[in-house]
Amino acid sequence: MSTGTATPDGPPRRFNSGPGRALVAVYILFAIAASCRAGVQIITKFDEAPVAYLLSALAAVIYIVATIGLARGDRVGRRTALVCCTVELVGVLNVGALSLFDPALFPDDTVWSDFGGGYGYIPLVLPVLGLLWLRRTRPS
């Protein structure tokens, strides 16, 4: 089972090495951050903004599953990561737009509010990088 793609000047490039490994590391960091944030918010003040906190929990689950898919790097992992990165991008774009146009929908921030502004816009950039990496390392 190959987890890489052939390069013109050498052996196959491993999907989860080099930049792919850095991408996995950032996904792990965001999985932890989103999980902790959602957990604390749900436990301590769920009644204040349940939709926002559940969206943060959803983001955490997506980051966790994407991390696993990217780390595996095999066919199933790639498909899983592709779905997760796509859902993540759609989510951050929709929640980001809604949080700007109608702030009352989200009385408290989610990971994806303001296009991930609370996290340095990394939630907006991360799925794009994931999708680009999946495309770049696509098997021939």
pLDDT confidence of residue 50 = 93
Q: What mean pLDDT is reported for the chain?
A: 88
Calculate ∠ Cα 123-109-22, nearest 5°: 20
pLDDT confidence of residue 102 = 93
pLDDT confidence of residue 138 = 85
In angstroms, rounded to a whole number, what is the distance separating the alpha carbons of residues 54 and 13?
38
Per-residue pLDDT for 106 more than 60?
yes
For residue 28, the tally of other CB atoms under 10 A from its CB is: 17
Which residue, chain included where needed, has tokens 């696993």?
Answer: 68
Residue range 39-80, pLDDT digits in tens = 999 999 999 999 999 999 999 999 999 999 999 989 999 999
Question: Letter for the amino acid at 87?
Answer: V
In angstroms, rounded to a whole number, what is the distance separating the alpha carbons of residues 28 and 11?
28
Please state, for a pLDDT cut of 90, what percent of the chain lies above it: 73
In angstroms, rounded to a whole number, what is the distance separating the alpha carbons of residues 90 and 93?
5
Per-residue pLDDT for 10 more than 50?
no
Alpha helix (H) residue ranges in 46-74: 50-72
Segment 98-122 mean pLDDT: 91
Is 3 in contact with 17 (CB distance < 8 Å)? Answer: no
What's the pLDDT band for 6 if we cut at 50, 70, 90? very low
